[in-house]
Amino acid sequence: MSTPLIDLQFENEKVLMRVDFNVPLNAAFEITDDSRMRAAVPSIQHILNTGGSVIIMSHLGRPKNGPNDEFSLRHIVQHLSDLLHVPVDFASDCIGEEAIGKAGELKSGSVLVLENLRFYPEETAGDIEFASKLAALGTFYVNDAFGTAHRAHASTSVIAQFFPGKKSFGMLMAAEIINAEKVMKSPQRPLTAIVGGAKVSDKILIVENLLNVADNIIIGGGMAYTFFKAQGGHIGSSLCEMDRLETCLEIMQKAKEKEVKIYLPADSIMADAFKADANTQNVPSNEIAENWMGLDIGNAAVLEFREVLLNSKTILWNGPMGVFEMPAFENGTKLVAQAVADATAAGAFSLIGGGDSAAAVYKFGFDQQVTYISTGGGALLEYFEGKVLPGIAAINQA
Ligand code: AMP
């Protein structure tokens, strides 16, 4: 990996920093969750404190037809200034005269935010000319936007070629990579992956790739029922992808060949409707009654999964065990979160992989009891699918 940002000094450097300030805004354009902004603060402050200036590049939302005030990054400028305790300037176009002028005059210790990159379709198209115009604004490139690391966009990947020997990961992105590598490249064994959520089709590439590294794979959530169906079980009206039955059998077969243990939930909480106040019963997962559906893992499954987790040294978790948004079906996810926390307390490394699993860990109050919660979403999933992320590759290339 390139030299960590924390070990670099930025005297007289104008650092073009790609961040993920794609924060949620309410109707009054107030930020309703600033965690993505706060995550970038340590990197920005390190650059400012060591004599550099920072030019912030980001996207916000999905503007379709060029500039649109609804998606303007001017809405976040004051808040960034409050977080950093320095004035923050704003250029109302990410390239062109105003940006060139303001970047040129930027003094060390100062911050400039460029307008939303995605007002130009060239950004997501990975246009090299657009990337070169952005590159001309700075002398050093930092990428701290892990959430878009799986995209070969102008500002996340293409731009890096203009900064040979003068580019680095931001601290957030470096932490994401180091923690993901602890699972995929140098895991302490046994390594147990917990994969859940709604669909087999969304998680299939991850499970296939995990077969190459994991010792145990726990499969829960809606996707488990396609596995039970494939093995001849009765799953009532549980979630099922009929076109994936063969895939499930292939995974079970490959796991056997590679001596990876796959754990499916022995029992389930079945419900007579997809409703918080439905009637429920704890039954074997392959004996779900007609017109009933499995909406959570059952008590025996929780105990078995807990045992596996407590014997693990590395844990990766992606996807809930049931419909944890409804209290009647939250127990499996909550108790698996508890088991991950207990395993962590006993010395295991645990990585919570973004999205719904992160939401669940926060919801049930275990966020301080796991090793690392990724901010990564799609980028993390692609990493675990074994793909090379363009945002990482671009920094690692000379
Ligand atoms: P994913 O985005 O694929 O990780 O799926 C997360 C969603 O799967 C959550 O909203 C859960 O409510 C849902 N889910 C988990 N288990 C089940 C299940 N047994 N039946 C239906 N939906 C489920």
Q: What is the pLDDT of residue 100?
A: 98
Q: Which residues contact 281 (CB under 8 A, 6 or more apart)?
A: 269, 270, 292
Q: Is 295 in the pocket of ligand 1 (CB under 6 A)?
A: yes
Nearest CA to ligand 1 atom 5: 197
- For 195, the token pair is 């994969």
For residue 60, the number of C-alpha atoms closer than 13 Å in the C-beta half-sphere is 27
In this structure, the answer to whether residues 40 and 121 fall within a common structural domain is: yes
Any domain includes 340 = yes
Residue 199 in contact with residue 173, Cβ under 8 Å? no
Same domain flag for 300 and 366: yes
Residue closest via CA to ligand 1's atom 10 equals 323
Which of 199, 207, 295, 323 for mutating ligand 1's site (highest number of atoms within 8 Å of CB)? 323
Q: Do 48 and 76 belong together in one domain?
A: yes
Residue 239 in contact with ligand 1 by CB distance below 6 A: yes
Look at the chain and report how many structural domains it folds into. Answer: 2
Asked, for residue 26, whether it belongs to a domain, the answer is yes
301 in a structural domain: yes
- Of the listed ranges 45-54, 93-102, 311-320, 371-380, the one predicted with least confidence: 371-380
Mutate to test the pocket of ligand 1, among 225, 229, 239, 316 (most ligand atoms within 8 A of CB): 239
Is 221's C-beta closer than 6 angstroms to any atom of ligand 1? Answer: yes
The answer to whether residue 62 sits within a structural domain is yes
CA of 221 to the centre of ligand 1 (A): 6
Residue 372: is its pLDDT beyond 90? yes
Give the end of a domain, one of 169, 203, 230.
169
**Is any ligand 1 atom within 6 A of the Cβ of residue 138?**
no
Is the CB–ligand 1 distance for residue 294 below 6 Å?
yes
318 and 183 housed in the same domain: yes
Q: Please report the atom of ligand 1 found closest to the CA of residue 320.
A: 15
Boundary (domain end) residue, out of 152, 169, 186: 169
Q: What are the tokens at 368?
A: 């301080």
Same structural domain for residues 101 and 118? Answer: yes
User: Any idea what the CATH number is for the domain that residue 28 is in?
Assistant: 3.40.50.1260
Q: How far apart are CA 36 and CA 129, in angstroms?
A: 28
For 103-155, write each residue's pLDDT tens digit: 999 999 999 999 999 999 999 999 999 999 999 999 999 999 999 999 999 99
Would you state the pLDDT for residue 377? 81
Residues identified as active-site = 36, 199, 355, 378
- Tell me, in angstroms, the distance from the centre of ligand 1 to residue 323's CA: 5
Q: Which is it for strands 111-114 and 349-352: parallel, antiparallel or unpaired?
A: unpaired
Dist CA 323 CA 311 (whole Å): 26
pLDDT band at 47 (very low <50, low <70, confident <90, very high): very high
* C-alpha neighbours within 13 Å on the C-beta side of residue 33: 6
**Do 154 and 262 fall within a single domain?**
no
Q: Is the distance from the beta carbon of residue 326 to the nearest atom of ligand 1 less than 6 Å?
A: no
The residue whose CA is least distant from atom 20 of ligand 1 is 222
Within-domain flag for 200: yes
pLDDT class for 3, splitting at 50, 70, 90? confident
Instruction: Categorize the per-residue pLDDT at 1 as very low, low, confident or very high, splitting at 50, 70 and 90.
Output: low
228 shares a domain with 92: no
The CA-atom distances, in angstroms, between 78 and each of 30, 108, 363 are 11, 19, 30
Check the CA dihedral 359-383-250-258 and report its sign.
negative
Residue 295 covered by a domain: yes
Confidence band for 398, pLDDT divided at 50, 70 and 90: confident
pLDDT, tens only, 231-277: 999 999 999 999 999 999 999 999 999 999 999 999 999 999 999 99
Using CA atoms, how far apart are residues 39 and 395, in angstroms rounded to an integer? 20
CA-nearest residue, atom 21 of ligand 1: 222
What average pLDDT does range 83-93 have in this prediction? Answer: 98
The answer to whether 329 and 269 have CB atoms below 8 angstroms apart is yes
- 249 SS3 class: helix
264 CA to middle of ligand 1, Å? 15
- Determine the distance separating the centroid of ligand 1 and the alpha carbon of 29, expressed in angstroms: 31
Do 183 and 155 lie in one domain? The reply is: no
Burial class of residue 92, CB neighbours in 10 A (0-12, 13-18, 19+):
middle
C-alpha span between 189 and 229 (Å, rounded):
31
CA atoms of 352 and 334, how far apart (whole Å): 14
Asked if residue 30 has pLDDT above 80, the reply is yes
User: DSSP state, 374?
Assistant: -
Q: Across the chain, where does the E strand assignment appear?
A: 14-18, 53-57, 88-91, 111-114, 140-143, 167-169, 191-195, 216-219, 234-235, 261-263, 267-271, 280-284, 287-288, 293-297, 314-318, 349-352, 372-373
If you measure from the C-alpha of residue 351 to the centroid of ligand 1, how many angstroms do you get, rounded to a whole number? 19
Query: For residue 239, how far is its CA from the centre of ligand 1 (angstroms)?
Result: 9
Q: Which two tokens stand for residue 234?
A: 């009765």
- Note whether 312 and 188 are same-domain residues: yes
Which atom belonging to ligand 1 lies closest to the Cα atom of 295? 19
Give the pLDDT of residue 389.
96
Of 144, 169, 194, the last residue of a domain is: 169
Q: Considering the domain boundaries, does residue 93 fall inside one?
A: yes
Domain that holds residue 155: 5-169
**Mean residue pLDDT across the chain:** 96
The atom number, within ligand 1, closest to the CA of 294 reads 19
Is the CB of residue 28 less than 8 Å from the CB of residue 85? no
- The predicted model scores a pTM of 0.92
Tell me which residue has its CA closest to atom 2 in ligand 1: 197
The 10 Å Cβ neighbour count of residue 161 is 16
For residue 389, tell me if it sits in a domain. no
Cα of 27 vs centre of ligand 1, distance in Å, is 29
Domain co-membership, 287 together with 353: yes
Same domain, 225 and 330: yes
Q: Which ligand 1 atom is nearest residue 199's CA?
A: 3
Task: Give yes or no: residues 146 and 217 share one domain.
Answer: no
Q: How far is the CA of 350 from the centre of ligand 1 (A)?
A: 21
DSSP 143-200: E--GGGTTS--TTTTGGGGG-TT-EEE-HHHHHHHHHHHHHHTS--SSEEEEE-SS-H
